[in-house]
Amino acid sequence: MPGRRYATLDVFTDTALAGNPLAVVLEAEGLDEAAMQAIAREFNLSETVFVLPPAESRHRARLRIFTPTQELAFAGHPTVGTAVLLALGDRRAEVADAVAFGLEEQVGVVPCVVETGERVGRARFRLPRLPESWGEEPDATRLAGALGLLPSEIGFSRHRPSRYSAGTPFHLVPVRNLDALGRARASADSLTEALGPGAKVFLYTGETGDPRHSFRARMFAPAAGIAEDPATGGAVAAFAGALMQHEPLGSGTHDLTIAQGFEMGRPSEIALQLTIEDGALRAAEIGGSAVLVSEGELHL
Say if residue 120 is in the same domain as residue 140: no
Say if residue 138 is in the same domain as residue 227: yes
Q: What is the pLDDT of residue 95?
A: 72
CA distance 11 to 289: 6
Say if residue 110 is in the same domain as residue 151: no
Is there a contact between 256 and 215 (Cβ–Cβ < 8 Å)?
yes
Number of domains in the chain: 2
Q: What is the pLDDT of residue 262?
A: 97
Say if residue 81 is in the same domain as residue 170: no
Count of Cβ atoms closer than 10 Å to residue 297 Cβ:
12
Say if residue 88 is in the same domain as residue 210: no
**In sequence order, what are the beta bridge partners of 106?**
none
| Beta strands 120-126 and 98-105, pairing class | unpaired
Q: What is the pLDDT of residue 92?
A: 77
Which residue numbers are catalytic? 47
Say if residue 261 is in the same domain as residue 152: yes
CA distance 296 to 54: 23
Backbone conformation region of residue 198, classed left if phi is above 0, alpha if psi is from -120 to 50, else beta? left
Query: Domain range for residue 187?
Result: 132-286
Say if residue 182 is in the same domain as residue 249: yes
Say if residue 103 is in the same domain as residue 44: yes
Q: What is the pLDDT of residue 97?
A: 74
Say if residue 91 is in the same domain as residue 205: no
Q: What is the pLDDT of residue 222?
A: 93
Say if residue 144 is in the same domain as residue 280: yes
Say if residue 78 is in the same domain as residue 219: no
Q: What is the pLDDT of residue 100?
A: 95
Query: What CATH number has the domain bearing residue 294?
Result: 3.10.310.10
Average pLDDT per block of 10 residues along the chain, 300 residues long: 89 97 96 97 96 97 95 95 95 79 96 96 96 92 96 97 95 98 96 93 98 98 91 97 96 98 97 97 98 95
One-letter amino acid identity for 135?
G
- 3 state DSSP class of 173: strand
Q: For residue 235, what are the CA distances in angstroms to 35, 114, 204, 259, 292?
A: 27, 21, 11, 12, 23
Say if residue 20 is in the same domain as residue 78: yes
